[in-house]
Amino acid sequence: MPSILLTDISQDVWVESLAIGPSDLGLPMDSDWSIVKRTLRGGRRHGVDVIEIRGGALDFTLIPTRGMGIRRGSYRGDRLGWDSPVTDGPVHPMFVNSAKNGGLGWLEGFDELLARCGLESNGAPYSETSADGRQTIVGLHGAIAGLPAHYVSIDIDEKPPYPITIEGRVQETRLFGPHICMCSKIKTVPGSNRLTLTDVFTNLGDSACDLEALYHWNFGPPYLGAGSKFVAPIKTLVPRDARAVEGLSAYDVYRGPEPGFAEMVYFMELFDRSGETIVLLQNPAGEKGVALRYQTAGLPAFTLWKCTRGEREGYVTGLEPGTNYPNPKPFEKSRGRVVSLEPGASRTTETTLEILAGSAEIQKITSEIASIANGRRPQIHPGAVEPFCNV
Amino acid sequence: MPSILLTDISQDVWVESLAIGPSDLGLPMDSDWSIVKRTLRGGRRHGVDVIEIRGGALDFTLIPTRGMGIRRGSYRGDRLGWDSPVTDGPVHPMFVNSAKNGGLGWLEGFDELLARCGLESNGAPYSETSADGRQTIVGLHGAIAGLPAHYVSIDIDEKPPYPITIEGRVQETRLFGPHICMCSKIKTVPGSNRLTLTDVFTNLGDSACDLEALYHWNFGPPYLGAGSKFVAPIKTLVPRDARAVEGLSAYDVYRGPEPGFAEMVYFMELFDRSGETIVLLQNPAGEKGVALRYQTAGLPAFTLWKCTRGEREGYVTGLEPGTNYPNPKPFEKSRGRVVSLEPGASRTTETTLEILAGSAEIQKITSEIASIANGRRPQIHPGAVEPFCNV
Amino acid sequence: MPSILLTDISQDVWVESLAIGPSDLGLPMDSDWSIVKRTLRGGRRHGVDVIEIRGGALDFTLIPTRGMGIRRGSYRGDRLGWDSPVTDGPVHPMFVNSAKNGGLGWLEGFDELLARCGLESNGAPYSETSADGRQTIVGLHGAIAGLPAHYVSIDIDEKPPYPITIEGRVQETRLFGPHICMCSKIKTVPGSNRLTLTDVFTNLGDSACDLEALYHWNFGPPYLGAGSKFVAPIKTLVPRDARAVEGLSAYDVYRGPEPGFAEMVYFMELFDRSGETIVLLQNPAGEKGVALRYQTAGLPAFTLWKCTRGEREGYVTGLEPGTNYPNPKPFEKSRGRVVSLEPGASRTTETTLEILAGSAEIQKITSEIASIANGRRPQIHPGAVEPFCNV
């Protein structure tokens, strides 16, 4: 398996740029793919490293500088991602201050298909008071999306179907704080309609530490539109607040863009089969969709974010499997939803993004979701309720 | 018109360095000018891009990395700008945290001839409390001077007098926030004594948004000195506070450097003629000066900043046309001085900096200012007064 | 004396990389040394400039990007420094926000052998309230470790023993704030067991300004271990707080690594001879040690930091000569321990790090320390006491 080391600070390895395809590795040309690593220049993206994977059908761009997030992608010409008002991204972390705007500074860099949230905390900002009385803000969604990878490598399997794996390692650590190392692997088979993201979070410290990890997968058109639907094997659904209650009767259907639309958020528990569950977003015509298939053991909490604002201010929905719900961490901790990692212990998550083309593929996934639910009906709470929400 | 694209993130265009003059474009050599684009290295300026325009008589340096500010210039050997205690600038935005020092962190990067203030807010810092009680500081003078341009181009007209135009575009945006794009053009004719700055601020979002823009033009010696004078067609003048009242009787005359001098600030409304007004700073001998000529429709508020501290701690005056006075934004908003831009709408400002050499040129401008006032006397308030100041 | 200018922003001098040894300068090869200047890539160290000095016996790495700190070193194969949980450093200042985590953000970049603390303030974080009521946090240990040098040069003496001197200049300044320039020189003789650090802090402003400077020298194994000892000519010793009292009876002996160990801190006044004092850390076997020899006039306060946590979370001790104790600055100021520099005035500090190999060398230094104390016994306070601590 040819392996290309792009970054390894322990060996002073750094590859400034790279462009490879099958012929560079002596692989048959019927395996149609290419990988480009380069550094973006200009605006707030200046200095951001990206790895562009062109897989034939599915293309996507990884961002080592932003914690191995996924910038955006496309599948047979359909865009994966959304139109963020942050139009000059991916934004370099040096331009993001999480404490700004009441702890919402993270939003100044938010434009990804996948933004990882965590690792010491994720979710809504909150104030923290030190033992001697100083107040500081813990910002929205934590630090990981602003931490650059200290190790990046590419592996290409020499045997058909020639799967490509990109590995990145990011650490979140400080003296007197947690020391979590994330080892992230993204794997795709050229020509396929999917990628699989496997993250291993390891406590490298000597004491137990907290872990919150949430996968903020974000989609706009063409998958999102007026009449798009959300499908999942829902066990429990809780509207986060009064605003979410307003849209509760149509929680699984999307509206078109509405300038000034206030977000609606739903917390869920999903049924699984052999530990696996699936969520689906399908377009209004029911012939295009994106599905996330993942293990609920690692990611027991699911959050649906409906943010159908104007097209130029963020028309988007978030499908968000997580270790927890994106409430302020102290609330999640008090409800037992923050992972505690013993020294040397790891937590693994695995998520597969599948892109579906044609009503047959949609129906197949819909059936699979139905069979996971297996006739069980969702319990839908009429309002925010403990232990999901701070009521 | 030969046009050179230096930066355009939408096309992945980035020019690392450039040095051109008339002969490079096949223009006659009697048009004496040069343009250099380069990246500064070392200290807090590391990584800052500058465009140095040498126009024959007037030279100046633009800073795309700092929101298209103007670092400093010179006119026939006389320095335009001031001696900031920030002596290792232009400071890269990554070294500036606006929330530091009670919201005065902006000052750690402040050393320009022109520092633009805005765009979501400018003026004095203030505390903001989120709906759920988190306090954060909105820092002095806003974000724009810390945002790098995502588009930069140079245009040189092939026809005499071969005017040079530099265009830069900067955006200030985030999810749930404003989305303002500034398109800034700076134009000068080689050999001339002036440059014209035209900024168009456009709301690219789907909802109305606020705009505050203030042009912090800063001058030290040789234009500023003991006995230098400020001349303008003043309609109304208000001392900002008790400190400004102390200097009110000589508001238009400057003192020499005084270590520890506390700033005096005056808010003004100016008369205009056909929408245009002029302010002048002339040196003690009355034979050198700098004048700003601008449209009051776009910039109705004028602020005079007298900061005649010691020479090594900031001996400087600011001539500051703005959409508003540099009070905390909530005060300005409550007094109706914050621009509201509808979706797609724009606000344009235009300011010309003219450098005057010789008493004849000074007298000509002084006469022009007098004719704008046209015999009308200024209303000078004896103290801070509504709606200009928070009394 | 061949001098090599690496960085000088006043002359636009910048050397991207450098690798030299005696033969490059026509010096005899029996002087065995080399100097490499390069820029680190990847992770949070991306863009950090380092100067690696290999002196034959003593090697060490300077960090111009982090205020001329000393990253780490080695002496005849023994590591100088410690294993910080920050394992991907030296961290670029753009990734450090001092206001984070209740003002402990500085710790996100803390991994050095020598981290300088200051210059406007050092010590524990505290809240500051502006005249008009805005609260901000002044972060732990100040700004200097996050400010890049604007001037760096190397001097190599052509005459035996060919001492090498690296000079770096860093300034901490802003409008309405202090303007301190630090000129730091680090000198070593190839083949020797020592380096001398001489810092000159000069007030370049027009008004008197505060100065706090503290040298956070940090050591882990092999010098630190269970049974390592601290030796110094102690005049007065004060445990900082109740936690330090717990370890008071064995303040001069170290324990092995203990996960979760809470730091113990001791404030001291030391005896001197002709203005010079010495502190020593010796390993458990008493045959390896590191000593700091310095002038007490410039650095009257000494702090011992015992942080014998788990090996992967920071097993380290700090020997910290300072102008002051690392209490919040307002406390230090009220107790008269903040230096006030008049305009143009300077404060100089000089510290020599000596690495000791063999029990004979240890005994020699121990004797020297004893002769400085000259039979005088330390006054050991049983608890925190004024004016050292805020009791």
* pLDDT tens-place string over residues C106-131: 999 999 999 999 999 999 999 998 88
Burial class (CB within 10 angstroms; exposed 0-12, middle 13-18, buried 19+) of C100: buried
Look at residue A1 and tell me whether its pLDDT is greater than 70: no
Q: Is A11 on the interface with C (CB under 8 A)?
A: no
Q: How many angstroms separate the CA atoms of A63 and A50, rounded?
A: 5
pLDDT at C130: 86
- Angstroms from C39 CA to nearest CA on chain A: 10
* pLDDT tens-place string over residues A289-342: 999 999 999 999 999 999 999 999 999 999 999 999 999 999 999 999 999 999
Model confidence at C329, pLDDT cuts 50, 70, 90, reads: very high
Transcribe B175-222 into DSSP letters.
TTS-EEEEEEEEEE-TT-SEEEEEEEEEE-SSS-EEEEEEEEEEE-TT
* pLDDT tens-place string over residues C357-379: 999 999 999 999 999 999 999 99
- Among residues A363, A274, A279, A362, the alpha carbon closest in space to that of A321 is found at A279
- The answer to whether B177 contacts A85, with C-beta atoms less than 8 Å apart, is yes
Q: How many angstroms separate the CA atoms of C230 and C304, rounded?
A: 9
pLDDT at A27: 87
Q: How many angstroms separate the CA atoms of C166 and A161, rounded?
A: 56
Helical (H) or strand (E) element with B365: helix B359-373
* pLDDT tens-place string over residues C44-100: 999 999 999 999 999 999 999 999 999 999 999 999 999 999 999 999 999 999 999
Q: Could you tell me the two tokens for C319?
A: 């020997």
Say which residues have a Cβ less than 8 Å from residue B98's Cβ, sequence separation at least 6.
A97, A100, B105, B106, B137, B139, B140, B142, B143, B146
- The answer to whether B135 contacts C135, with C-beta atoms less than 8 Å apart, is yes
Q: Could you tell me the two tokens for A170?
A: 């990011």
Helical (H) or strand (E) element with C155: strand C151-156
pLDDT at C133: 84
Model confidence at C251, pLDDT cuts 50, 70, 90, reads: very high
pLDDT at C131: 83
- Among residues B46, B212, A353, the alpha carbon closest in space to that of C65 is found at B46
Could you give the residue ranges of the DSSP H alpha helices within chain A? 100-103, 242-246, 329-334, 359-373
Chain B neighbours (≥3 Cβ pairs under 8 A) are A, C
Give yes or no for a contact between A10 and C38, defined as CB atoms under 8 angstroms apart.
no
* pLDDT tens-place string over residues A139-175: 999 999 999 999 999 999 999 999 999 999 999 999 9
- The answer to whether C173 contacts B85, with C-beta atoms less than 8 Å apart, is yes
Look at residue A194 and tell me whether its pLDDT is greater than 90: yes
Q: How many angstroms separate the CA atoms of A116 and A143, rounded?
A: 9
In sequence order, what are the beta bridge partners of B240?
none
Report cis status (omega within 30 of 0) of the bond before C284. Answer: no
Give yes or no for a contact between A219 and A319, defined as CB atoms under 8 angstroms apart.
yes
- The answer to whether B206 contacts A87, with C-beta atoms less than 8 Å apart, is no
Q: Could you tell me the two tokens for A159?
A: 């045997």
* pLDDT tens-place string over residues C294-317: 999 999 999 999 999 999 999 999
Helical (H) or strand (E) element with C100: helix C100-103
Question: β-strands A209-219, A276-282: how paired?
Answer: unpaired
- Among residues A135, A74, A83, the alpha carbon closest in space to that of A110 is found at A83
Domains annotated for chain A, with CATH where assigned, are 3-380 (2.70.98.10)
Q: Is C312 on the interface with A (CB under 8 A)?
A: yes
What's the pTM?
A: 0.97
Q: How many angstroms separate the CA atoms of A109 and A92, rounded?
A: 8
Best residue in B17, B38, B40, B46 to probe C by mutation, most C CBs within 10 Å?
B46
Query: B134 to chain A: which residues are within 8 Å by CB?
Result: 102-103, 125-127, 137
Q: How many angstroms separate the CA atoms of B366 and A248, rounded?
A: 68
- Angstroms from C130 CA to nearest CA on chain B: 6
pLDDT at B27: 87
Chain C neighbours (≥3 Cβ pairs under 8 A) are A, B
pLDDT at A224: 98
- Angstroms from C308 CA to nearest CA on chain A: 12
Q: Is A128 on the interface with C (CB under 8 A)?
A: yes
* pLDDT tens-place string over residues B265-287: 999 999 999 999 999 999 999 99
Query: B97 to chain C: which residues are within 8 Å by CB?
Result: 97-99
Cα A389 from chain centre: 22
* pLDDT tens-place string over residues B312-371: 999 999 999 999 999 999 999 999 999 999 999 999 999 999 999 999 999 999 999 999
Q: Please state, rounded to an integer, the average pLDDT across all residues of chain A.
A: 96
Which of B44, B45, B309 minimises the CB distance to C147? B44
Q: Is B13 on the interface with A (CB under 8 A)?
A: yes
Q: Is A14 on the interface with C (CB under 8 A)?
A: yes
Q: Is C174 on the interface with A (CB under 8 A)?
A: no
How far is the first Cα of chain B from the last one, in angstroms, to the nearest whole number?
Answer: 53
Query: A205 to chain C: which residues are within 8 Å by CB?
Result: 85, 310, 312-313
- The answer to whether A257 contacts B177, with C-beta atoms less than 8 Å apart, is no
- Angstroms from A239 CA to nearest CA on chain C: 31
Q: Could you tell me the two tokens for A188?
A: 């795709």
Say which residues have a Cβ less than 8 Å from residue A299's Cβ, sequence separation at least 6.
A213, A215, A321, A322, A323, A349, A351
Q: Is the ipTM of this complex over 0.90?
A: yes
pLDDT at B360: 97
Q: Which residue is closest to C143 within chain B, CA to CA?
A: B95
Give yes or no for a contact between B169 and B199, defined as CB atoms under 8 angstroms apart.
no
Q: Could you tell me the two tokens for A207?
A: 């004491």
Average pLDDT over residues A101-119: 97
* pLDDT tens-place string over residues C145-173: 999 999 999 999 999 999 999 999 999 99
Residue with tokens 């052509």, as numbered in its chain:
C158
Amino acid at B284: P
Amino acid at C55: G
Q: Is A148 on the interface with C (CB under 8 A)?
A: yes
Q: Is A159 on the interface with B (CB under 8 A)?
A: no
Amino acid at C183: C
Which of C133, C134, C206 minimises the CB distance to B311? C206
Q: Could you tell me the two tokens for A117?
A: 């949230």
Q: How many angstroms separate the CA atoms of B108 and B45, rounded?
A: 12
Q: How many angstroms separate the CA atoms of B327 and B390, rounded?
A: 8
- Among residues B68, B293, B292, the alpha carbon closest in space to that of B183 is found at B68
Q: Is B228 on the interface with A (CB under 8 A)?
A: no
Q: Could you tell me the two tokens for A27?
A: 């692989």
Q: Could you tell me the two tokens for A171?
A: 């650490």
Q: How many angstroms separate the CA atoms of B341 and B382, rounded?
A: 35
Model confidence at C262, pLDDT cuts 50, 70, 90, reads: very high
C-alpha distances out from residue B321 to B370, B374, C290, Å: 19, 21, 61
Q: How many angstroms separate the CA atoms of C127 and C136, rounded?
A: 6
Burial class (CB within 10 angstroms; exposed 0-12, middle 13-18, buried 19+) of C218: buried
Model confidence at A132, pLDDT cuts 50, 70, 90, reads: confident
Cα A163 from chain centre: 21
Q: Which residue is closest to C64 within chain B, CA to CA?
A: B43
* pLDDT tens-place string over residues B59-68: 999 999 999 9
Q: How many angstroms separate the CA atoms of B370 and A156, rounded?
A: 77
Backbone phi, then psi, for B281, in 5-degree steps?
Answer: -115, 120
Amino acid at A259: P
Give yes or no for a contact between C188 and C75, defined as CB atoms under 8 angstroms apart.
no
- Angstroms from A139 CA to nearest CA on chain B: 11
Look at residue B31 and tell me whether its pLDDT is greater than 90: no
Q: Is A128 on the interface with B (CB under 8 A)?
A: no
Model confidence at C32, pLDDT cuts 50, 70, 90, reads: confident
Q: Could you tell me the two tokens for C155?
A: 């001097």
Give yes or no for a contact between C233 and C373, defined as CB atoms under 8 angstroms apart.
yes
- The answer to whether C175 contacts B257, with C-beta atoms less than 8 Å apart, is no
* pLDDT tens-place string over residues B175-223: 999 999 999 999 999 999 999 999 999 999 999 999 999 999 999 999 9
pLDDT at A30: 73
Q: How many angstroms separate the CA atoms of B365 and B373, rounded?
A: 12
C-alpha distances out from residue A241 to A244, A258, A263, A382, Å: 5, 20, 10, 10
C-alpha distances out from residue C38 to B123, C53, C91, C146, Å: 41, 12, 15, 18
In sequence order, what are the beta bridge partners of C118?
C142, C213
Residue with tokens 């271990």, as numbered in its chain:
C225
- The answer to whether C177 contacts B85, with C-beta atoms less than 8 Å apart, is yes
- Angstroms from B207 CA to nearest CA on chain A: 6
Transcribe C57-81 into DSSP letters.
SEEEEEEGGGTTEEEEEEETTEEES
